[in-house]
Amino acid sequence: MRTNVTIDSQLIHAVQHAVGVKTKAKAVVIALSDYLRWHRIAKIKGYRGKVRFRNDTVSYRRHDR
């Protein structure tokens, strides 16, 4: 999807340099993807202490058979 967005030129150049891409579009896509990933991880971390997790892979493997 093509969209016009006004972004500070210093900011976009800093992102391009940080992620090592030549195009502004690729820098924006990477930045948005990374932000969304970070947001999802933060949401999962919010469940800490609220969800019980049993890390018993041996019983999981037996159960699958």
Q: Tell me the per-residue pLDDT of 18-40, one tens digit each, with 9 for 90 and over.
A: 999 999 999 999 999 999 999 99
CA distance 14 to 17: 5
pLDDT at 60: 66
The pair of three-digit structure tokens given for residue 52, joined into one six-digit string: 């019980």
Residue 48 confidence class, pLDDT cut points 50, 70, 90: confident
Residue 4 lies in a domain: no
Comparing 24 with 60, the larger pLDDT belongs to 24
| Residue 2: closest CA among 29, 40, 30, 38 | 29
Give me the domain span that covers residue 37: 9-64
Q: What's the number of domains the chain is made of?
A: 1
Give the number of C-alpha atoms closer than 13 A to the C-alpha of residue 49, restricted to the C-beta side: 1
Do the domain assignments include residue 44?
Answer: yes
Is there a contact between 15 and 5 (Cβ–Cβ < 8 Å)? Answer: no
**3 domain residue, yes or no:** no
Instruction: Return d(Cα 22, Cα 13) in angstroms, integer.
Output: 9
Residue 64: band (very low, low, confident or very high) from pLDDT cuts 50, 70, 90 = low
Q: What is the pTM of this model?
A: 0.68
Q: Indicate whether 55 belongs to any domain.
A: yes
